[in-house]
Amino acid sequence: GENVEQHPSTLSVQEGDSAVIKCTYSDSASNYFPWYKQELGKRPQLIIDIRSNVGEKKDQRIAVTLNKTAKHFSLHITETQPEDSAVYFCAAPLFMEYGNKLVFGAGTILRVKS
């Protein structure tokens, strides 16, 4: 089955600096890699995703890179702002006989200090 490892577990950066969160996965059949942001007391929300046919995707200050050979993908946040403070989860799919599911990493607590 799929195993997703996420690092670091906590990350503190100064406002304006960049933040990088890394995840590794085990199933070479995985083809879709989303990232979720969860603010305190709220639901996780999809912020960016990447499919296995591309190596990088950007959306304003957020980017995700994928290395299929090494089975790892990363979230990059540039010019961090206090509102970026949250828990971030990466995920990869596990395909099963009945449907499929996302396997989530353990999460990274990002703190942006102003």
Partner 1 sequence: SQTIHQWPATLVQPVGSPLSLECTVEGTSNPNLYWYRQAAGRGLQLLFYSVGIGQISSEVPQNLSASRPQDRQFILSSKKLLLSDSGFYLCAWALPGGRHYGYTFGSGTRLTVV
Helices vs strands, H then E, count in the chain: 0, 11
Strand partners, 33: 50
Nearer to partner 1 by Cβ, of 98 and 114: the residue is 98
Quote the CA–CA distance of 113 and 91 in Å, as a whole number. 26
Least Å from the CB of residue 95 to partner 1: 7
Least Å from the CB of residue 100 to partner 1: 6
Nearer to partner 1 by Cβ, of 14 and 98: the residue is 98
Nearer to partner 1 by Cβ, of 84 and 93: the residue is 93
Q: Would you tell me which residues interact with partner 1 (CB under 8 A)? A: 31-32, 34, 41-46, 49, 89, 93, 95-96, 98-102, 104-107
Q: Which residues contact 9 (CB under 8 A, 6 or more apart)?
A: 106, 107, 108, 109
Least Å from the CB of residue 23 to partner 1: 13
Nearer to partner 1 by Cβ, of 78 and 104: the residue is 104
Least Å from the CB of residue 77 to partner 1: 18
Quote the CA–CA distance of 29 and 13 in Å, as a whole number. 34
